[in-house]
């Protein structure tokens, strides 16, 4: 049996080659990248600027005696809370009691001399009327009365001074607050106006003192001029303070003082806020971190930090339009609120912002967008802060 082999027809071979060539030229288009988008949250926001400072006593008294003498008694325990007017030290009062008795005796003597001078003047008036004495003698009696009046006034003044000195032998606390330890003991001699007996500081209320950069001060001045935020010189702007071991701002107060000049060495200006401290927990010298109202209320949009990219000096977000294409938007960013970044300008409230898949995007690229709902990521309490060396606010809270 013989087998016959036939070559394919030329037309069929050509068609097959053309089909193979045309199929190799066509490449499948890559799928559109998958991204997640969301409409930004909207909030009414106020900015907070952050400062570091320390608590300071409003009244700080270094106690010195007003009379000299030997310490007779110490009437307090070191470090205790004392009330205004509470006795603290007794200086030996006996010399001052004797001086008071002597002054009282001198005053009594002057009073007796005045009574006698007035009696003599009364007799002289009758004698003068009867022309039994000369006018010069009568005038001498008048002068004696005036001299006796002056002597009595001096004696009474000496009594008052001696009584004051006797009272000063009891050294009392001039303020209510915490007392330090005693610097003298019983038997020590204390010199008037020189010897330091102890120190008393007030605790309620208390100051939180800090220094602010000139850039912040300029910002506040301009806000005051435009009416956005009142100057802390005459407006009790709110202040919130966080202690070194705290995570939130639990201490609340108000601005009370801004200094009248900027320190030319540091470029900062001194200020303090007053904080209520009814329990005495806050202690002078204690460290704290404060945030001060840094703006008026403004409307802002919030997006996650990962939705923002940096292009040299610009901040950008990508939005997906109705045509399904991604487009960049330059934006002005602010502090964090509720775990999201404030967008002050550059973004419309209804735009779909890309929050996932942004790293693969190019301007004008078609995308497959999945819409989700934006949610806060943190409580509206203690936002992330920025250094206080730059004017932009470090924190904000939503109203």
Instruction: Evaluate if residue 394 carries a pLDDT over 70.
Output: no
Q: Of the ranges 67-76, 101-110, 152-161, 296-305, which one carries the lowest mean pLDDT score?
A: 296-305
Mean pLDDT of 4-30: 50
Closest to 74 in 3D by CA, of 166, 201, 202, 198 = 198
The two three-digit tokens of residue 340, written as one number = 């999201």
8 A C-beta contact, residue 396 and residue 343? no
Instruction: Evaluate if residue 2 carries a pLDDT over 50.
Output: no
Instruction: Evaluate if residue 123 carries a pLDDT over 80.
Output: yes
Instruction: Evaluate if residue 18 carries a pLDDT over 70.
Output: no
3-state secondary structure of 293: strand
Instruction: Evaluate if residue 4 carries a pLDDT over 70.
Output: no
CA distance 268 to 266: 5
Pairing of strands 69-74, 81-82: unpaired
Residue with more model confidence, 135 or 392: 135
Question: What distances in angstroms separate CA 242 from CA 206, 207, 246, one per listed residue?
Answer: 15, 14, 6
| Residue range 314-337, pLDDT digits in tens | 899 999 999 999 999 999 998 888
With 0-12 / 13-18 / 19 or more C-beta atoms within 10 angstroms meaning exposed / middle / buried, residue 124 is buried
Mean pLDDT of 213-239: 93
| 348 backbone dihedrals φ, ψ, rounded to 5° | -85, 150
3-state secondary structure of 75: coil
Closest to 335 in 3D by CA, of 52, 43, 53 = 43
Q: In the Cβ-directed half-sphere of 235, how many Cα atoms lie within 13 Å?
A: 17
Neighbours of 245 (CB within 10 A): 5
């Amino acid at each position: 049996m013989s087998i016959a082999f036939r070559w394919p027809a030329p037309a069929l071979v050509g068609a097959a080659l053309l089909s193979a060539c045309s199929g190799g030229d066509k490449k499948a288009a890559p799928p559109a990248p998958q991204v997640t988008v969301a409409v930004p949250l909207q909030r009414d926001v106020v900015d907070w600027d952050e400062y570091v400072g320390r608590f300071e006593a409003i009244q700080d008294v270094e106690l010195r005696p007003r009379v000299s003498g030997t310490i007779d008694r110490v009437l307090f325990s070191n470090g205790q809370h004392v009330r205004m007017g509470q006795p603290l030290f007794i200086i030996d009062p006996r010399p001052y009691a004797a001086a008071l008795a002597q002054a009282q005796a001198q005053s009594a003597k002057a009073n007796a001399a005045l009574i006698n001078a007035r009696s003599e003047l009364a007799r002289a008036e009758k004698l003068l009327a009867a022309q039994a004495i000369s006018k010069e003698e009568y005038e001498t009696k008048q002068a004696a009365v005036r001299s006796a009046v002056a002597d009595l006034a001096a004696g009474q003044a000496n009594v008052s001074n001696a009584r004051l000195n006797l009272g000063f032998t009891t050294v009392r606390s001039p303020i209510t607050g915490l007392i330090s330890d005693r610097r003298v003991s019983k038997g020590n001699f204390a010199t008037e106006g020189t010897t330091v007996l102890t120190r008393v500081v007030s605790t309620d209320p208390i100051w939180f003192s800090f220094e602010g950069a000139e850039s912040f001060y300029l910002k506040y001045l301009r806000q005051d001029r435009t009416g956005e935020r009142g100057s802390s010189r005459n407006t009790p702007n709110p202040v919130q303070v966080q202690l070194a071991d705290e995570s939130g701002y639990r201490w609340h107060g108000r601005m009370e003082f801004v200094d009248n000049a900027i320190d030319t060495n540091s470029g900062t200006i001194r200020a303090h806020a007053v904080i209520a401290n009814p329990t005495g927990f806050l202690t002078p010298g204690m460290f704290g971190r404060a945030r001060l109202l840094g703006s008026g209320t403004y409307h802002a949009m919030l997006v996650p930090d990962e939705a923002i990219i940096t292009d040299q000096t610009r901040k950008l977000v990508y939005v997906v339009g109705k045509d399904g294409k991604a487009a960049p938007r330059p934006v002005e960013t602010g502090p964090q609120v509720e775990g999201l970044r404030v967008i002050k300008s550059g973004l419309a409230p209804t735009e779909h912002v890309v929050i996932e898949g942004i790293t693969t995007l190019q301007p004008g690229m078609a995308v497959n967008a999945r819409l989700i709902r934006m949610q806060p990521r943190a409580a509206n309490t203690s936002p992330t802060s920025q250094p206080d060396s730059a004017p932009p606010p470090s924190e904000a809270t939503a109203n």
